[in-house]
Each structure stands twice: as structure tokens, then as C-alpha cells.
Amino acid sequence: MYSRITGTGSYLPEKILTNHDLEKMVETSDEWIRTRTGITQRHIAEKSQKASDLALYASQEAMKAANIASSDIDLIIVATTTPDMVFPSTACILQHKLGADNCPAFDVQAVCSGFVYALATADQFIRSGKCRNALVVGTEIYSKILDWNDRSTCVLFGDGAGAVVLSQSEQPGILSSHLHASGSYKDVLSVPGSIESGAVQGNPYINMEGGTVFKFAVKVLEDVVREAVEENKLKPSDIDWLIPHQANIRIIRSTAQKLGIPLDKVVVTVDKHGNTSAASIPLALDIAVKDGRIRQDQLVLLEGVGGGFTWGAVLLRW
């Protein structure tokens, strides 16, 4: 028994914030942001929108593409760092909005690796025969956890959601998944604040040592891609499409270069979306599926790294 992606969907909020808009908010420039990160614009959710609202649109698209109804879903996993509330989980809120009551629903918190963690988890449920159709979503509203006076972080992120339906299949599908974490890096990238006694204690915004994140990301992404291809007796050059977490074009280029994968086999959306954390991989996947780049039988490798640190990859045949 295998699992296979049978539908993809995504959602980006209407409002676009360009680098030129940011020039009016903090001391920065379009040139600095573009050359350091590759980002030119990002989407920003309305104040009234929650992560589950973005997730709902993306999920409805994915379910339509997979040609399934809410009643066919028997597992919901939502990857998010920006949940609607402390609890219940965004997955439970999404389940209610979809009218898919009764199936198991839970959130995964692995920051920018969240979607890879969620997909790997859903794959295990399907392989073990516990479910037939899983809805796996990455949804984020990072604009709510950014300090808009801190130019070193506020220029990097954006809001959005991506979703897939993962279904039982006789043919693979997902070939293998590879997850890692190292909590010893917990202070390098974090939102350290917590809610205690009715108020936020500590810093409620993103705190990041950018240079350390950069070096760590390039190293572990190369390692985890090699781990995935070697386990399947393949070479990096066999991959048809690399879909990396979209943090920074320089991280994406360095990883691809170290692996000998040409950039025209890499799906890049960071220029238009910024870093949407757990949403970035399913958003990029949906775009490449819809524009026809990803075709049947191709080898697709999803890889991500994020706070924790966490990192991982999923290798699949489309």
C-alpha cells in the first residue's frame, strides 16, 4: 500500500506588499532585499483573516482537483506556526469549516519544515491502512508575528496556504520521507514569547541569527536530499523537480549548485511570495502542477528547513 498526491490547491491573500512599499516603512531598499533574498513582493492577509481561512480556500481547491468530498476525508493534518488560537488546533477549526467532522485532525508544529513533517506523517497513516484520503495543509500568517520595525526580519516573510490530498494507491506515490531535528539550535530562530497569566511574556516577534540560519540551511538541505536519493538508489541528477522551502534565493541556489541540479529543474516562488514558512512548499508545488511543469511519472523532491532546527525531505513519483 502506498500514498499518492491526487490533488493540490493554494491560496494567497489579495493584498500585495512590494519592496518599494517596505521602503516607506523601514530603512531598507528594493535593491538590498532583492540581492540578499531574491524577494520582490509578498502577500499579506487581512486583519480579520486567520490561518484556517487561508487553509480553507487551499483545501477546497485541492479537494476539487482530487475530485473528493469532505465526507471522503479521513485525516486532516495542518502544518502551521501561526495557528488561529492556542487551542483548539487549526486542523479542528478547518475540519469544522469543511464539514468533515469525525475524522482525526491535528496540527504539526515544525515551522518551515512543517509541511514535509505533515506529509510524512500522513504517508505513514495511509501506508498502515489507517486512512484512505488525508488532507495535508500548510498555512501561515507570518505578518502577525513580525516586528514591522525590524528590517532584518520583516522583509523576509509573507502569508499564504497550500494543500494536498494524499490518497491510497497501489503504485507509489511517496517513495520515502526523511525527517530530522536538532533542538540545540532552538535560540537561533524563534518567537520566544509565551502566554502566561493572561499576557504575552517575552518577545512575541521573530528573533533570528540570519547568518547562522543561512549556513545551517545550505548544509542540512544538501545532506537530506542526498539521504533521500541514496536510499532510493538514485542520484540528485535523476530528480526532475526540486521543490525547496522558499526562504531565500541564495539558499535555494547554493543547495542546487552543491547537488549539481540545474536551476531550471528547481521550482522558485520566493520572488513573488517571500518566505511563507510551512505554506511555501505546497504553494510552489501547486503552481508547478497547475502550469504543467510537473507531469506524470516525474521524480519530485520536496525539502525544507526551519526553526527548531527541523529539516526534512519527501521523495515522490508524480
Binding footprint of ligand ACO on the chain (CB under 6 A): 28, 32-33, 36-37, 112, 151-152, 155-156, 189, 208, 210-211, 213-214, 217, 245, 247-248, 275, 305-306
Q: What gap in Å lies between CA 233 and CA 231, rounded to an integer?
A: 6
- To ligand ACO, the closest distance from the beta carbon of 152 in angstroms equals 4
How far apart are alpha carbons 193 and 12 in whole angstroms? 27
Residue given cell 506515490 in the structure block? 173
What is the distance of C-alpha 240 from the center of its chain? 20
Distance CA 312, CA 228 (A): 9
User: How many Å from the N-terminal Cα to the C-terminal Cα in the chain?
Assistant: 16
> Nearest approach, Cβ of 7 to ligand ACO (angstroms)?
26
Q: Return the bridge partners of 163, or none.
A: 9, 137
Nearer to ligand ACO, 52 or 81 (CB): 81
The single residue of 112, 131, 133, 273 carrying the catalytic annotation is 112
Q: Give the whole-angstrom CA distance, residue 253 versus residue 62.
A: 29
Q: Which is nearer to ligand ACO, 173 or 282 (CB)?
A: 282
Helix (H, G, I), strand (E, B) or coil at 205: coil
Closest by CA position to 132, among listed 180, 165, 88, 86: 165
Does residue 273 have an active-site annotation?
no
Given the residues 43, 178, 245, 273, select the one marked as catalytic: 245
Q: How far is the CB of 32 from ligand ACO (least distance, A)?
A: 4
Q: How far apart are CA 49 and CA 179, in angstroms?
A: 31
Q: What is the DSSP letter of 184?
A: G
Query: Which run of H or E residues covers position 63?
Result: helix 51-66
Least distance to ligand ACO, CB of residue 22, Å:
8
Q: Give the nearer residue to ligand ACO in terms of CB position, either 36 or 132.
A: 36
Which residue's CB is nearer to ligand ACO, number 59 or number 80? 80
Instruction: Rank residues 97 and 258 by Cβ distance to ligand ACO and give the closer one.
Output: 258
Q: What is the largest CA-CA distance in the chain?
A: 55
> Which residue number, 37 or 59, has a Cβ lying nearer to ligand ACO?
37
For the record, the C-alpha cell of 314 comes out as 519527501
**Count of beta carbons in the 10 Å neighbourhood of residue 25:** 13
Q: For residue 316, which phi and psi values (nearest 5 degrees)?
A: -145, 155
CB atoms under 10 Å from CB of 2, counted, come to: 17
Least distance from ligand ACO to the Cβ atom of residue 125, Å: 26
Closest residue by Cα to residue 161 from 91, 228, 266, 215: 91
Is 154 catalytic? The answer is no
Nearer of residues 89 and 248 to ligand ACO, judged by Cβ: 248
Q: Report d(CA 311, CA 9) in Å as an integer.
A: 23
Question: Is 275 an active-site residue?
Answer: yes
Choosing from 19, 207, 248, 275, which is the catalytic residue?
A: 275
By annotation, the residues acting in catalysis are 112, 245, 275
